Structures are given as C-alpha cells and as structure tokens.
Structure 1
Amino acid sequence: MTSTRHTLTLIATAALLSASTLAQAQLIQPAPQARRAPAEPLAAGLIIKFKDGSRTPVAAKAAVQGFRAMTEARGQRVAFDRESAFGRRVIRLDRRVPARDLVQLARDIQLSDPSIESVQIDHVARASFTPNDGRWDLQWDFVSGTGGINIQKAWDLSQGFGERVAVLDTGVRPHADLVGNLLPGYDLISDSTRAGDGGGRDSDASDPGDNVAAGDCGLFEPAEASSWHGTHVAGTIAAVGNNGMWVSGVAPKAKIVPVRVLGKCGGAESDVADGIVWAVGGSVGNLPKNPNPALILNLSLGGQHSCGSTYQSAIDYARKQGALIVVAAGNDEEDVSNHAPANCKGVMAVAATTRAGARASYSNFGSGVDIAAPGGDKDNLVWSLSNMGTAGPGADALAGMMGTSMAAPHVAGVAALMTASNSLIMPSDTAYLMKATARSFPGSCSGCGTGIVDAEAAVIAARGFRAEREPNDTAATAQYLNVFPARVIGTLQAAYPEQVDVYSLNLPAGQGLSTNIVVLAMDFNFSASLELLDATGKVLAKSTLINNKPEINYYNKSGKTQALYVRVKGKTTLMLGSGDKAYELKLTRNPF
C-alpha cells in the first residue's frame, strides 16, 4: 500500500528566533519541485490468517516457517515473522518489493493449506500530504471566513479538555508548543531498518526522522529530508493554545497519544492495523496495552489498493469500542474508492479544500468521502509544528504544508471539541453530527462529502446530542431533554403496525418550540409523525409536512413554564415490518 514518496517532503519551514511573535520567524524555502508520477505500490510482506480453531498458535507458527521457506524459494528474502492482532501471522521481507510481485505467491500459499482463511499482501502506507513551495498567513484555516472551519466561537463552548486523540503517523517530536499535551505512546514499526531508531517496536514514539538516500524507497526515488509529518498533524490537532507562542491546535486542551507506524519509505499495513488496535486499548501480541486508550484516531496516511480484511478487522474492532477513525482521502486526484484505508467501511474519509472553499486540485474525491476540511494549496499553506532537522531532530520549528493529511486533523480536532462538550456522546457519534452540520461549499467541490466541517455548529449539535434511552414509550418513562438545540438518534420498531417513543421537556413562557423528525433508514413502507402533548395528555399540535419533513411549531403563551411531551410515532403499511427504523429528532427552543 503506497502513495508517492514526495508527499513526505517539507517545503517551507519557519524557525522561530524567540518564543513570542511570528514576525521574528525566518523562512527556509527550497527550490520548487516538479510533481512526479505516483510510484508503484509497494509491499512489506504477507499477512496470513488461519481459520478460527483450525490450528493452535504453536501449529500455526510451525506452518508459517514452511511458508517462509516457500517465500524464499521464490526469491524473496524473509527478515522475520511475527504474531499480529487477531491471531494473524506476518511474514516480513527484508526489503520493500512491488506489490504485484507477491500476488501469485499469496495465491499459492492460500491454496497450499486448507486451514488458511486468507493471505493478504502487507501493503506499504505512506503519509498523505503534498509538497509545496510557498506560505501564507498562519491559521487562516481556523477562522470563520470562506475556507476556514469557524473555530473561534467553538472555543467559547469547548477546547477539548482532556480528550485523547491518537495520531498514527511518523511519531511526534516533543515540540515546546505540544509537549504539554503529549501522552506516552508506542512505536509499532516492526521493521528495525525502516524504523530508523536502532530497533523495532518499543515504547518510544518520538520521531527520529524519516530521511532517505536516493534509491532507498525505489530504484528511481530521490533522496528526501525528514518530513516531521506526525508532529505537523499532532500540532494541528492539539498544539497548546493561548500561551503567547507558536500556534494553537483545533483542540488546544486535548491530549495526543502518538502511535508510530510510518518510518523510512512509509509503513506496513499490518503495523498500521496493529496501531489502530493498540490505540483503542486492544491486545497486540505480547505488547503492553495502551494505558491511555484513545477513541479518536487520526490516520493521515494511505495507499492505492482495496481495503483488505487486515485493515477492516482493526477498524471494526475500534468501532466496537466506540471509536471515530478519521482518514485522509489521499492526494492522487482520483476517486477515493481505490485508496486504503480511506475506502474501508466505518472510517470518516476527509477531502482537502482551499482557502476559497473549493476542492484542492490534488485531493481525492468520490462518494466514499464523508466531509472536507482545509488542506491548503501552494498559495495558502496549512501551518503547524515541525522541526528544523533535515535528517535527525534539530530545533523546534513551524512548517507550511498542504494535503489531505493536513485536512484530516482538523476533523479529528473538532471531534475532540465535541466529545469534551458532552460526556454522553461517543466519538463514533460525532461523524454523523459533523456531516449533518457541515457548511456548504462556497467553491466547487464535487465528491467532497456533505460540506466543510464547521467547528461551532458541530459543537452546538454535540452539546444537545442524546442517544435514545429505553424504555421511553409512555409519559411516565419519557426521556427528559434539557439542552437545546437537542438532537436525538433513536429507533422505532417496524415489526409492529405502530410504535411510539416519548420525550419530555420544559418550555418557558414566551418561548417557541420547533421540532422535526427524519427517518434515517430508507423504507417506503414506513413513515414517522410527531405529536405535542401537555402534562394532562392533551394533544396540542400534530406534525405537518414542511420540506417533506414532519414538523411542529408551537408557542407557549400560557404565562408560565409548560411541561411538554413530544411523541414520535412510526407506522408501517405492512402488517409486519423488517427491523428497527432509525430516526433523528431535532428540537429547538426560541423566543418568538
């Protein structure tokens, strides 16, 4: 799994001469680089999964030894094999090879043993930003203008206090403007040569640099300086804010859990998948469990291939824990459907937009994209934390970059603002709310999802979000709502001719109530309606269709606070429906 190595290049770096103002910064601007054609997808080895219960771990390890011999007989030198998450076995080659070179070998191993469930190519993942040779005023991407994410008013409601965000990337430097928000992480890179830190997997998730010499990543690949990609991504999410220096992150009081999965020439799919499992607190071989599990994950990486079961199993596991997995859509100017892990089920794929709010020319697109965020272009870079070193670490720095790698952390940061604003919301719930409240594109952005993420609107929606609490089918068991505007995601049982859910609220004198409902599961045999009742059970209003949505508008002119009940009614034209039907109920209190 791979994208072009040049996406790791740092193009413009500003080294602060003091810790006070940007005006004291100096720019280092290398000569412009011509865009190269995408490199051929590379592989790190093979991933073997045995059918459940078909082999003991000892027998499986013995079988893998035979597969290693088969691999070397085909001219591929094996560096090691190891156990991975979910009982998979990984055969790691001593060097990266074109993925196409392992296709037939994977098939042969699959056919050689009936106890094997699958054999996958262990694709190489790369960081997903595009190089640039310019700069622009810092943090235009945060403001409420045309292309920004409208962060200032969101900060009045939440700054992400204490929320943990895992950054699966090249590792993170202890930058002066980030170290206060940095938690211990882990280095999941199993290939010591690619790790570049003198060893394989260990508890040091700092970035030692990912510089390479010409030819290291492929026959015609040039030398590259260290990118400090993970530090840039982490800074966008949670650089310390309001401290008189450097920049602020989207969630300046959130915490970063660094998970190092990308090294020299990128990283292996199996390492990235293990990183997902480890980040959320799962077991990965004999590694110590993450003492600070994170349920918001940022993956600014990817490669050109379909989503295999190695990625999907890890994502499914994280989703079961309630995690949100934010993934950069990729920078190949094509449909995201052939770019993993952005094309996996259950992730939130993020496209990149420019300051004008249009799709950035490099950004992938398509129906698989969920939302967009600022990724910048050559005239309007996204600025965040970096390092001056071209090989190993040097002084702290700022860097302007562009790419979907820069867009994704904006979304992850907003998710942290949302979860910090409401203890009842799970990170996995934030994707729906961000998409529902996204701002319409001011520019052309076909295939970029529902809009540009709007931090203020998303946090407001999150504060009033509630999951349905059962039972709630009578006034006596009604679910009480006290934060407005309120959003409830609930279900109605379509297996009965009619089913109801009931919610209660207090409406002060002189205020109005607006409420509507949308059935989220498309079923032409099923419909929903609303009724508004007072404390005696008297029906005060019934819904009418407004813009094809059942809606009620009511004004309290009684002179005192009213206790009201909203009854959601679902009805099917069939005697027996099929499955529960999800709905979204919105309630807004406003003075009229």
Structure 2
Amino acid sequence: MKRTTFPTLLKCAVAALIAGSSLAASAAMTAQTDRLIVKYKDSNASSMSALAATGLSTGRQAIITRAGQEFGLNLKHVRTTALGAHVLKLDRAMNTGEVAKVAAELAARDPMVECAEPDRIMTRLTTPNDPLYTSQWDYFEAAGGMRLPLAWDKSTGAGVNVAVIDTGYRPHADLAGQILPGYDFIANTAFAADGDGRDSDAKDPGDSVIAGQCGVGIPAQDEPSSWHGTHVAGTIAAKTNNGVGVAGVAFGAKIVPARVLGKCGGYTSDIADAIVWASGGAVSGVPANANKARVLNLSLGSTGTCDLTTQNAINSARSRGAVVVVAAGNSNMDASTDSPANCKGVIAVAAVGRNGGKASYSNYGSVVDVAAPGGDTDAGIVSTLNAGTTTPGADSYGSYIGTSMATPHVAGVVALMLSKNPKLTPDEVEAKLKSTARRFPSPCAGCGAGIVDANAAVDAAMSSTKVTAAASSQ
C-alpha cells in the first residue's frame, strides 16, 4: 500500500404503464414534467407533414380531454415529432410518475394508442462539486474508471448500511453524518492501543508500530499510522456535493465501522465476530447492532486456506442477506493462497490501474470474481485520511494503492444496487456484477469477469425490480 498525501482541503411500453398504477413511487423519484408523448398506431414519419398541419382529430382530442379530466387536468396539443408522435402539454407540472398514470389512462381509453409516456426533462449527468473529484479518475475515466456519474443519476445508495471491518475510523469533515454507531472488537489490549479491550468506541487511535512491539525482531513500521479504515470508508460513502474534499461511490449510504485491526493486525476470532455482528447476528457480550449492514467490506487478508471460523462467519452473514466483499491481496500471486479471498460465498476483488490493466501488485486467479480501480505507481486512489503520524491529527486526504482500495469501490456499487432493489440475494448481486462487468482495456489475466461497471450493475438491479413488479401484477 503506497500513500501520497494531499493538504486538507425509446422504446415506449404501454403495457408497463397500464400495469403500473404504483409507478410513481418506484420509478419517478422526484423528477417532474408538464408534457407527455403519445404515438398512435396509424402515425408514421411519412405522414409527418399532414400531422403537423392538422394536429389531432376531434375524436382523439375528445378522448385526451376525458383522460385529463380524470386527474383534473387540461391537455393541449403542442406539436408533432419527427417520427409522428404527438406532444401534449399539461396545465401544470407533475411528478413523472403521476404523468405516467395520465398516459396509462389515455392508453386504456384508446386502443389505437401505440405508446404513451411522460416527456421527461433530461439534465446533465451528476458531477460532484467536491474539489478533489477531478483527481478521482477511478470514478469516471474510460480506461480504468467505473462509470459512476451515469449510475448516480439512478442511485446514491440511500437506505443501505455498509460495514467497514477494518482499523476503525477517524471523525472527518467529509464523513460527518455518514458514520453510524460501531464497535471495537479488538480484545488484545496491546493490539488495541486504546487503553482497553472490546468496547463501543470504534474510533482508530493509530496503528504505528515501534521496533519489537509486534514480536521479537519485527522492525518499526516504515510509515506513520495508516488510518486505513478511514480511507476505505471515504471511498464508499464520503459526503458528496458538499464542496469539500472527495466524493464517495455510494454517498447516500451509511458506514457501520467494526474495528478489528490494530497495531499488529487482527485476530481471526475477532474478525469473525465482527462479520456476524455487522450483519445483524448475535455476539456474546456485545450489544446488538441496531444498524444491520447489507454489505460487508473486508479490505484485509492473510496467506493460508480459508479457515472454518471465517467461513462459518461468512455463511452466517450471508444467511441474513449480507453481501461480503473482500480484497484479493497484494502479493502478485494466485489469490487461492489468500484468505478470506479464497473463502466461499465472497466477492473477491482484484485491482486495476489507471489504464484498466492488472495492477502490478494485485493477486489474481480463479477465485477472483471481478476487478475494480486500486491504483498503481502512476496514480492512486484518493480518499479521506488523518494527518497524524502516530496519534490522531487533523483531517486530511491521501492517495493509496492496493486491492484494499479496489474492494470499497465494489462494496459501494453493491450499495447502489441494493438501494434500488433490496430484495437481491448475495448470489444475485454477484451474478449481476459479473454479467455487467466490462472488458479489460489492457491485459488483466486472472482478474475475474471484468471491471465493475457501476451504471450497468445498477441497471441490472433495477431491471430485476421491474421484472418482479410485472410478474406480481399478472
């Protein structure tokens, strides 16, 4: 993991409209329009001139008037489009979901309607005003990025909790209001370095190490405290469009911090308990988690097979619907030798650099599911940090590289997906991430199905919602 610091700083579907009496709540969100588009079966582009000149027949205008009256509206013909559809103006602006109901009413009254739909108002794609966003190539660049701006117009992750099972967190201006109550699972007081063992304070006191602190012959840590969990949390859910710092992948989501890594790392037993607790399971001696997480981010690992303790914890979390996203490892070797990447039921994430090819350090192999931006020597991943060298200091921002950085990108995208379709199972989430991942633009052998495409993944989640809704209405 390398650290670079920054100073603080159209196809119209009438059937869907007819079936969708509750369409406003599920699809329209808060967008408004004062127009709708109607296409008749006997209209075509070749008759455009005549349509433009004559407008609508008296009979059709009468049907339109009656349909509008059902909603207390007056509908006026405005013009004919290039392909022969008619634009109708409402006498007031309405939620697009409500306009869809008007369109459905019109279609139900006139069998000659081929399609009727809101004339939606398009806007430019979401572009955050956070000053370091321009450095977040991992979100928007064509080669190594994840097409997040497109996804943000559909989902921000609202309503989803993501557990960051890591070093804890530091309070940070760019995470204000994003952190839910967490827990410190480090039982070993020497590792914990906060004066006690397990407690309800998940804040990170620092993990710098002096020579011999983690065992005889083990040297001092080469760099200051990592504030690793704070960096991961910022990638997932940093406040966005607040004119400060960076943007988060799922800035509408919330973070549940579970502190498991201290000065010398973290024990499997503590990590397993955190996995169970974060997903809503019971852990003896630990208060229940009031903010169950649907996504668990584990940017951690160790060489070896997947032990039964970890696998059982993962199975337990999955049984409660939690999606477990883990780092593939940073040893440039087969990830089958790294746990928990080699555990069953997880989404193992490799890292790509800015060119979209395998990062020099990233593990690879058959256990890897997908890849995401982790940065490389030419460009890292910018996120929230702390300026303290050993103990906490001021808020700051910094650039890290590693599969630890790739993993929260995927966890954030999962939050975007679940926000739109909370009924998705862990297996369905994984399948959709893989099926929508885009091809690697540069070599990335053993990096899974491709680079996670946030926009396509959210579309796939939303498509499942529509299919489910249509099935339930039949």
- The two structures share one fold, judged by TM-score above 0.5: yes
Aligned equivalents of 1:392, 1:481: Cα separation in 2: 52
* Alignment partner of 1:166 is 2:168: no
SS of residue in 1 equivalent to 2:174: coil
- Give the equivalent residue in structure 2 for 1:530: none
- Residue of structure 2 in register with 1:441 after alignment: 440
Q: Do residues 203 (structure 1) and 200 (structure 2) align? A: yes
- Check whether the contact 1:295–1:427 (CA below 8 A) recurs between aligned residues: no
CA gap of 1:14–1:480, structure 2 versus 1, over 3 A, is closer
Q: Are residue 265 (structure 1) and residue 264 (structure 2) matched? A: yes
**Structure 1 counterpart of 2:193, which letter?**
G
Distance 1:177 1:434 in 2: 28
Identity, % of aligned positions: 56
For the residue of structure 2 that corresponds to 1:414, the secondary structure is helix
Which has the higher mean CA deviation after the structures are superposed, 422-431 or 195-204?
A: 422-431
Select 2:3's aligned residue among 7, 11, 25.
11
Distance 1:480 1:287, change over 3 A: closer
- How big is each residue's C-alpha offset from its partner over 1:385-407, in whole Å with a ceiling of 9 and x where there is no partner? 00000011100000100000000
Q: Distance in 2 between matches of 1:344 and 1:276?
A: 13
Alpha-carbon distance in structure 2 between the residues aligned to 1:480 and 1:380? 42
Shift of 1:465: 1.2
* Structure 2 Cα separation of the partners of residues 194 and 286 of structure 1: 20
Partner of 1:383: helix, strand, or coil? Answer: strand
2:248 alignment partner in structure 1: 249
Contact preservation (8 Å) 2:169, 2:204: yes
Q: Which residue of 2 aligns with 1:461?
A: 460
- In 2, the alpha carbon distance for the partners of 1:414 and 1:157 equals 12
Q: Does the C-alpha gap of structure 1 residues 146 and 200 become closer, same or farther in structure 2, counting only changes over 3 Å?
A: same
Q: Provide the rounded CA distance (Å) in 1 between the counterparts of 2:468 and 2:335.
A: 42
Structure 1: stretches of 5+ with no match in the other structure: 1-6, 19-134, 468-478, 483-502, 506-564, 566-592
Give the partner amino acid of 2:284. Answer: G
Structure 1 residue 147 corresponds to structure 2 residue 165: no
Contact kept in structure 2, 1:351 and 1:369, CA below 8 Å: yes
Distance 1:216 1:417, change over 3 A: same
Cα deviation code 1:244-263 (max 9, x no counterpart): 11011000110000000000
Q: Contact 2:133–2:245 (CA<8 Å) still a contact in 1?
A: no
Tell me if the contact between 1:160 and 1:254 (Cα under 8 Å) persists in the aligned partners.
yes
SS in 2 for 1:183: coil
- What are the residue-to-residue correspondences of 1:30-41 with 2, within 5 Å? none
Deviations 1:373-424 (A, max 9, x none): 0000111110000000001110000010000000000000000000111243
| CA spacing shift, 1:480–1:313, aligned 2, 3 Å | closer
User: What CA distance in whole angstroms lies between the structure 2 residues aligned with 1:236 and 1:211?
Assistant: 22
Give the match for residue 372 of structure 2: 373
CA gap 1:168/1:504 in 2 versus in 1, 3 angstroms: closer
Q: Does 1:179 align with 2:171?
A: no
Report the CA distance shift for 1:200/1:220 in structure 2 as closer, same or farther (over 3 A).
Answer: closer
Deviation of the 1:162 alpha carbon: 2.0
Q: 1:156 to 1:303 in 2, by over 3 A?
A: same
Find the residue that maps to 2:196 and give its secondary structure. Answer: coil
Query: Which whole-Å deviations, capped at 9, do the CAs of 1:216-235 have from their partners, x for residues lacking one?
Result: 23414333410000000000
Q: Give the alignment's Cα RMSD to 1 decimal.
A: 1.9
Change (3 A) 1:159 1:304: same
Check the 8 A contact 1:164/1:257 in 2, yes or no.
Answer: yes
- Count how many residue pairs are aligned between Structure 1 and Structure 2: 350
Corresponding position of 1:279:
278
Counterpart in 2 of 1:414?
A: 413
Match of 1:103 in 2: none
Could you list the structure 1 runs, at least 4 aligned residues long, displaced by more than 6 angstroms after superposition.
none
Counterpart mapping for 1:517-556 below 5 A: none
In the superposition, relative to structure 1, how do residues 259 and 464 fare at CA in structure 2: closer, same or farther (>3 Å)? same
Distance in 2 between residues matched to 1:480 and 1:199, nearest whole Å = 49
| Aligned AA (1:272) | I
Which residue in 1 is equivalent to 2:430? Answer: 431
C-alpha distance in 1 between matches for 2:468 and 2:385: 47
- Gap runs ≥5 in structure 2: 10-131
